[in-house]
Amino acid sequence: MGNRPRLMRAAAVLAIASVALAGCATPVAGPSGNYARSIGTAPVTANPTPYSAALVCMAGYARSTHLVAPRIAVGRIADYTGKSESDGSGRKITQGASLMAMSAFAKAGMPLVERFDTSVSELELKYANNKLISDAPNPAPDQAAEYRKILAGQVPGSDFYVAGGITELNFNIRSSGVDGAVGGQNTDDLKGTFRGRMFIMNIGMDLRLINTRTLEVVDVISYQKQVVGREVGAGLFDILGGNIFDVSAGAGALEPMQLAVRSLVERAVVEMTANLYGMPGPRACLATDPLGDGTVGITGGYVPAYNNLGTNNGQTRADPSRWNARRDSAVRGRY
């Protein structure tokens, strides 16, 4: 009979927990039309690496010295490691290294021409060749309009293009750990445990810069970056007044592998761009305009659509509060 009150208390706790969980998710849509509100309110932020500032510096150097930069195209930078998740959910390494390279060259102020995904341009060229596309603001659907002309030489060519791939992903280059336990000999004495682990892996990349006209490889760079992970934990076990207390806590962290790939790409682009610009090393950043080019920043670069560089959004693209309905007073409460 002595166990009955304890069982009743446990049943009550389970019932309360079930009701609380049921209140968090329901199959009935609320006034907003959703079943549940998503958690998390972190704003969108810039995604720089330790080499992003150097890329922006190069854009400022080219602008201050009036350099005419060559046009760059980015080809396929593939994942050649062959490593995939054991559960079949996908590759362990990002398949978007080419996109990272485009952003890196934009940060450096290099003019880019698209060669990675030309499907839309090719389709529009096909339509224009058949006189089906008009550039009129609102062409009438039942009347012929001035069609788009195809002009010789209207597509600028590239001077160089980048290709390469992610070639290494080595797990557990070195690891270390410690586990310990301490406590009294009796079963009801206080006992404690501790564990700590650390491991290191690395990612490698090989890139090359190719002259588009001659297919001559003019620059080859191979880099690797090590990634560190760690885990710590501690626990306490004790019996007080006939009650069992088992408390444990821990924390773990792994340096982002995809950010390591971005760092590899940006470091390689820094070196390639410095060569193309003829830049005399990092000390050239000391002599450039600290504001740099108003159209280039750690988020990338753009061509202004209007002559409003002083008032447009170019200088605030890295501001986490800009345009955020929760953090920007100019937007908050509008909708």
Q: Each residue of 183-212: pLDDT tens digit?
A: 877 777 788 888 899 999 999 999 999 999
For the CA atoms of 33, 36, 42, 46, the dihedral, rounded to the nearest 10 degrees, stands at -60
On the question of pLDDT at 122 being above 90, the answer is yes
On the question of pLDDT at 317 being above 80, the answer is yes
Q: Show the tokens assigned to 92.
A: 């362990």
Helices (H), the chain: 3-24, 52-64, 97-107, 119-129, 257-277
133: number of Cβ within 10 Å: 17
* 3-class state of residue 146 by DSSP: coil
Distance CA 169, CA 261 (A): 11
Residues 32-36, mean pLDDT to the nearest whole number: 85
For the chain, the average pLDDT equals: 87
**Rounded alpha-carbon distances, angstroms, from residue 46 to 53, 266, 285:** 12, 15, 22
What is the per-residue pLDDT across 81-102, written as a single tens digit (0 to 9) for each?
Answer: 999 888 888 899 999 999 999 9
pLDDT category at 291 given cuts 50, 70, 90 is low
Predicted local confidence at residue 8, as pLDDT: 63
Predicted local confidence at residue 12, as pLDDT: 63
Distance CA 320, CA 298 (A): 13
> Are the C-beta atoms of 214 and 178 separated by less than 8 Å?
no
Closest listed residue to residue 85, CA positions, set 14, 169, 8, 10: 169
Which distant-in-sequence residues (6+ apart) come within 8 Å of 3 by Cβ?
Answer: none
Answer yes or no: pTM beyond 0.85: no
The angle subtended at Cα 250 by Cα 244 and Cα 251, nearest 5°, is: 165
On the question of pLDDT at 16 being above 70, the answer is no
Predicted local confidence at residue 237, as pLDDT: 79
Which distant-in-sequence residues (6+ apart) come within 8 Å of 192 by Cβ?
Answer: 181, 182, 183, 234, 235, 236, 237
Phi, psi of 226 (to 5 degrees): -90, 145
**Residue found by looking up tokens 């049943």 in the block:** 11
On the question of pLDDT at 217 being above 90, the answer is yes
Burial of 219 (0-12, 13-18, 19+ CB in 10 A): middle
Predicted local confidence at residue 191, as pLDDT: 83
Please name the amino acid found at residue 189.
D
> Are the C-beta atoms of 22 and 36 separated by less than 8 Å?
no
The per-residue b/e assignment along 245-255, b for 16 or more CB within 10 angstroms, e otherwise, is eeeeeeeeeee
Predicted local confidence at residue 213, as pLDDT: 97
Residues 142-156, mean pLDDT to the nearest whole number: 88
pLDDT category at 248 given cuts 50, 70, 90 is confident
